Structure formats: structure tokens, C-alpha cells
Amino acid sequence: MSEVYTARRQRLRERCDAVGSTSALVSRPANVRYLAGAAPQGSVLLLGRREDLLVCSGPREDRPVDGRPDDALRLHLLPGSGGDPAVAAAGLAAAQGGDTLAIEEHHLTVARYRAIGSVAPGLRLTELGGAVEQLRVVKDEEEISFLRTGAEIADQALGELLESILVGRTERHLALELERRLVDHGADGPAFPTSVATGPHSGRRGHRPTDRRVEEGDFLTVCMGAAYRGYRCEIGRTFVIGTSPADWQIELYDLVFAAQRAGRESLVPGAAYRDVDRAARQVLGAAGYSEGLPVLTGHGVGLEIDEDPQLAPAAMGKLDACVPVTVEPGVHLPGRGGVRIDDTLVVRPEADGGPELLTITTKELLAL
């Protein structure tokens, strides 16, 4: 595994060289993990002029660690509660003879920035920007295999829930049960807080489970995912409770399904992010739903549940192969409820069979 991390750091170093920076300070946890194999709480990664260091604070005891730090990377432990690793790393960068330090301005706070300036006044601070986030967009096959396993776990957990009796149970309980099942099946934990939305709540993005109970005739929207070896996937489905859905439910479901399919089918290497969004959005718009739609149709997933790219109207850029994204359009009618359908897929060339669907739970409208 170590070669993977070394290669990733090498690619970042090339970016730094290109902008004339002798060293870089990576502080955003998912970026640290991507480059170092693990991100102990509060740790930062220094790409130094002579050596790379994972700088951690506090005794090991207090630092929960996900993943395992790359063996090829030296750990620099600050003594006791010995201050801010970012500030210490800047001092170490200067000690290695670096004259510039590229920092993640979108993550580092103003206070830490000032402290770095005081500790290493000779260092010129430049902007690393989203360089690591950009490296993270295209996944290797191992990363994709972790996402695939996570998706299998989520499918299993959801499948088991559907076999149980749902009427009368609260959103909160269903969400907790799903999270327990994720862990039962080997997930590190939920990829994000599980959303269970019933009746008038259904179809809302990011709905937080309440004490509302499932009732006959409800739409039930579940959105969940598993974290597996740090990688986070997402699946969302909407069901009907009871024997036969109402006409408006069938119509709305078919519409969102058509929009989601249009989005999925537009996932080809070279497609503009905004065109994927438009493909789904215009299906909904043609049916009269253009107000109040979610601001995006989907997003990248990986070490974070919401990462680049954004599949949204104003997004710039084009899809590459091996980019995993969600496609998750939805419509919510205030007071009545709605539908969301959400898959995680990996962009693949047509020659390889087109987009790879990771979340394979059926998208038929099930009446439970």
C-alpha cells in the first residue's frame, strides 16, 4: 500500500513545484488521509523540502485513528498538549530550508494562519488551493472496490429493513435500525446521518428523522450509506406504504425515476457536469417542477460523502472515467411529501459497459 501514498504525494509535489512552492502543508483531514493513509485527529501532513512528516499533537491515547498511517512516512509527535500541529509543521518546513509553504486557505483558519506567520516569519505562504481535492476526484480501482463494498453493505441493510414491518415505527427508529444493520454487515459506520422521511417529510433532501410514525398510504424516503475503509457511498429510495399507491404517487414517482435515469444515462467520460444536471433537471422542469428543486443533481463521493465534482447548473468541468458520483434528483411537495431516488455510480467508458451502478437495490416503486 505504501507505494500508493508515495505516488500520491509525488503528484502533489509536482503541482507544488509547478507553482514554485518548496513545501506544502495539508490540513484538511480527508486530504491528510488520502496522502498519508490515516489522519489522526488534528494531524497535518507536511510535504517538506527534504522529508515528508505526519505531524500529530497529544499523546497517542487521545487520538482516534481511522486507517493506518503509511509506513514510509515519519510521524512527528508533539509532546503532551504541545500546541497546534499546523504551526509546528510550518516551523519544521522552515527548518528543512523551505522558503515557501503552500497552505489550504479553504481549510486553515485565520488564527492558525497568523500563528504560522509568527512562528516562521521567513516562510512565504502561498495557496495550495484545492490541489489535493482535485487529485482525489479520479479514483483508483482499490478506492472503487471500497465504495463497491460499501454499496453492497447499504443494499443489504436496506433490503433487510424492507422485509420488516414498518407501519407504526418512527423515523428515528428506522434510521437507527438501518445504521445498526450497516455495522452488522461490516461497515465502519454510516457514511452520513441516515435520513428516513415519512409522509409529508418524504422526498426532502437531508431530512433529519423525527418521531413521526410510518402510516398507511405514506411515501417513505430512505437515504443512507455505508463507510467502508474510509470510503462513503450513498443510496436513496422512496417506497409506498400500503397495498396500492395513489395516482399522484405513481405519477410523481415515474417522473423522478425518469429524471434520475436521464441523469444516469448522461454519465459518460467527457460529459460536462452541468449537462448531467440539466439532463435530470429538464425532465422535472418539463413536468412543471422547476421551483424548489435541490440545488444539485449529484456530487462526487469518496473519503467524504460530498466531494468534487458538483453536478449542478453552474458547475464547470467535465467527467472523467473512474469518477464515482451520485445521481439523486427529487421532488418534494410541501405538506404532501415527495420522491427522491439516489444512486452511486462510477463513470466508465461505453466500451467498458458505461456507468457502473454500485447501489443495486431495485428502483421499482415498491408497496410495502
Q: Rule CB under 8 A: which residues touch a copy of itself?
A: 41, 58-59, 61-64, 66, 80-81, 103, 105-111, 113-114, 172-173, 176-177, 179-180, 183-184, 204-208, 292, 294-296, 312, 314, 332
In whole angstroms, what is the distance from residue 183 CA to residue 69 CA?
Answer: 23
In whole angstroms, what is the distance from residue 364 CA to residue 238 CA?
Answer: 9
Closest approach of a copy of itself to the CB of residue 241, in Å: 22
Question: Around Cβ 356, how many Cβ atoms within 10 Å?
Answer: 17
Find all residues with CB under 8 Å of 17, minimum gap 6, and list them: none
Note the maximum CA span of the chain.
72
Order of strands across the sheet that contains 189-190: 189-190, 226-228, 231-232
In whole angstroms, what is the distance from residue 126 CA to residue 117 CA?
Answer: 12
Q: Which is nearer to a copy of itself, 49 or 173 (CB)?
A: 173
Closest approach of a copy of itself to the CB of residue 46, in Å: 18
HSE-CB for 130 with a 13 A CA cutoff: 7
Q: Which is nearer to a copy of itself, 9 or 107 (CB)?
A: 107
Instruction: Give the three cell numbers for residue 197.
Output: 422521511
Closest approach of a copy of itself to the CB of residue 351, in Å: 35
Closest approach of a copy of itself to the CB of residue 16, in Å: 18
In whole angstroms, what is the distance from residue 100 CA to residue 19 CA?
Answer: 10
Q: Which is nearer to a copy of itself, 70 or 188 (CB)?
A: 188
DSSP letter string, 139-207 = PPHHHHHHHHHHHHHHHHHHHHHHTS--TT-BHHHHHHHHHHHHHHTT-SEESS--EEEEGGGTT-TTP
Looking at residue 254, its amino acid is D
Q: Which is nearer to a copy of itself, 81 or 118 (CB)?
A: 81
Find all residues with CB under 8 Å of 277, minimum gap 6, and list them: 263, 296, 297, 298, 311, 312, 313, 315
In whole angstroms, what is the distance from residue 69 CA to residue 312 CA?
Answer: 35
Q: Which is nearer to a copy of itself, 66 or 320 (CB)?
A: 66
Report the sign of the C-alpha dihedral through residues 238, 242, 243, 248, in that order. negative
Hunting for cell 509527535 — which residue is that? 77
Looking at residue 194, its amino acid is T
Closest approach of a copy of itself to the CB of residue 105, in Å: 4
Closest approach of a copy of itself to the CB of residue 291, in Å: 9
Closest approach of a copy of itself to the CB of residue 333, in Å: 11
Phi, psi of 310 (to 5 degrees): -100, 130
Q: Which is nearer to a copy of itself, 105 or 356 (CB)?
A: 105
Closest approach of a copy of itself to the CB of residue 64, in Å: 5
Closest approach of a copy of itself to the CB of residue 65, in Å: 8
In whole angstroms, what is the distance from residue 344 CA to residue 305 CA?
Answer: 11
HSE-CB for 138 with a 13 A CA cutoff: 9
Q: Which is nearer to a copy of itself, 268 or 287 (CB)?
A: 287
Q: Which is nearer to a copy of itself, 117 or 349 (CB)?
A: 117
Point out which residues pair with 75 in neighbouring strands: 54
Q: Which is nearer to a copy of itself, 207 or 232 (CB)?
A: 207
Q: Which is nearer to a copy of itself, 171 or 343 (CB)?
A: 171
Closest approach of a copy of itself to the CB of residue 295, in Å: 4
